[in-house]
Structure 1
């Protein structure tokens, strides 16, 4: 109880002190990547827009490269009032809202277009507010891209992955995904993946073209399967108490500017996905295969049982609805 009171005091003191002295409210926006990435550019664009249109009311301070928090503790730091906004990976939010695990489902979405359709539905919008009772609210979604497999074995059929060790983020869905393939899921920090692939500790991993290229995974993997089997994205979040403490007009304008910045970031992400794929192809270090429609149907048949392992946690109706958007 004392902790909750302390947190609330910190939030409201910061806000009302700013208002009392006519100073702009400071929003510390934390993220874990370089400034020269789509997410980094989104955060910087948000800062620029706020400086241009409402600098007398709000000041945005952007802290990239995990300077203030990483995705594992970002929610706690928002609740403690140490930061006010962040953009963690969706997978990092499942403990606050298990339904967000929907985005980890393998072969549920057949591309970014289907993901965008889902985010615009009332169900997609509801997920943004599904953490409110835990003190966190989502303000918008942002893309990284669709995930693909890389490995030192050629992976075309689901059986090709059997016995291979794949790096995963901490996720019950991703664990079930690889276990359904007869593969061995290994939780490993992102920063350690390259060395683990190079040493042979891991046989493969799953990631977007952007991450494969920027982390040079294509240099230590013999094969890449362009599978588009899963989605990797982010959610811009803030504290519910902090957000509600802002004047309605300020919230409305900030939401509008953030939406514009996210739109810019998503365009950057789509372009980067294309450019980074071309860079991997040009490098010629890994042999690349693309799943055709016949191959995808084989994978979906194997993966559908994984979806419904989580009917009670995520919701069968939500999973079924998302599938119809392809």
Structure 2
């Protein structure tokens, strides 16, 4: 073999090795930002997604999970996503009002009878269509993740709507939720999730609404002596990405990432109900917060007080979307 040919082969081999090294050194990075603790359904789903992507794609894709608002709160993450600073997030459905009116359906009070009805609606043609309602704003909905039904916590017992009059409640950034509390003469305050504990602890607010798993994992029960089991609303999430990032994933990568996400969502949803039941029991066992069970008559008073909010937002959401959600209660 001539020296020239040997040198060419050596150069070619070095080039291949350098290219391979570059491929290993420069994986696709997916920063997954969320606002809750790792022991919540969302937190466990994110970790499962990270594990599944590593299992399916090895060094090709690197998933970095940032819980507890380490990167962004839900109020900032979608803008950060559109700027390319984060690739995956799972904001509460309440956070999408800026991008579409239709998703406000999930904030309507006393809309769903139970989580089975929520599941039926999200899997329906209308529920699937809602995932695409963000596309003209540069975002892609990839699936729904459950947290659960909301309870009311407060510094004083809440048994009938009149008990909430004049009290300040933290809410997510949602006009529907603001209207819900105004309907019972309470004062809604839109504040970041990361600030809720200190606001409760310092008595800057009187109460908040959340699922048992969030009330427990964020230690709200330690600074709220009363929790009313109202099941009046829903906290679920939409896993979302930017259209430019998602559509820009290589054709041999995106299906595997998609499959990992589908599996992770199924995992997260399977544990959401269990997590809430366990969190409720842990709160009871702590003795720090009393859980108030409403009588049917008391609960009906809350329903009647808040039901006008449906009509208030029917034009924005679409009566057909509300009707499809109501129909999901029929099984």
Same fold, judged at TM 0.5 (above): yes
* Whole-Å separation in 2 of the counterparts to 1:71 and 1:268: 22
In structure 2, the residue matched to 1:201 is 204
The 5 A counterparts of 1:1-326 are 22=23, 24-55=27-58, 57-326=60-329
C-alpha spacing 1:292/1:122, structure 2 compared with 1 (3 Å): farther
* Whole-Å separation in 2 of the counterparts to 1:286 and 1:59: 41
Which is higher, the Rg of structure 1 or of structure 2? 2
Q: Secondary structure at the match of 2:305?
A: helix
Map Cα deviations across residues 54-113 of structure 1 (whole Å, 9 max, x no partner): 226433222333333322221222222222111122211111112111111111112211
Equivalent residue pairs, number: 309
Deviation at 1:125, TM superposition (A): 0.9
Deviation at 1:134, TM superposition (A): 0.6
Q: Secondary structure at the match of 2:53?
A: helix
Q: Secondary structure at the match of 2:74?
A: coil
Q: More deviation in 222-231 or 148-157?
A: 148-157
* Whole-Å separation in 1 of the counterparts to 2:251 and 2:93: 27
* Whole-Å separation in 1 of the counterparts to 2:203 and 2:35: 27
* Whole-Å separation in 2 of the counterparts to 1:234 and 1:147: 13
* Whole-Å separation in 2 of the counterparts to 1:77 and 1:200: 32
* Whole-Å separation in 2 of the counterparts to 1:251 and 1:282: 45
The 8 Å contact of residues 179 and 309 in structure 2, kept in 1 or not, is answered as yes
Map Cα deviations across residues 165-212 of structure 1 (whole Å, 9 max, x no partner): 212122111110011001111223333333333333322211111122
Q: More deviation in 135-144 or 219-228?
A: 219-228
Unaligned runs of 5+ in 1: 1-17
Q: TM-score, normalised by structure 2?
A: 0.86
Q: More deviation in 266-275 or 189-198?
A: 189-198
Q: Secondary structure at the match of 2:69?
A: coil
Deviation at 1:259, TM superposition (A): 0.9
Name segments (4+ residues, structure 1) moved above 6 Å. none
* Whole-Å separation in 1 of the counterparts to 2:169 and 2:245: 39
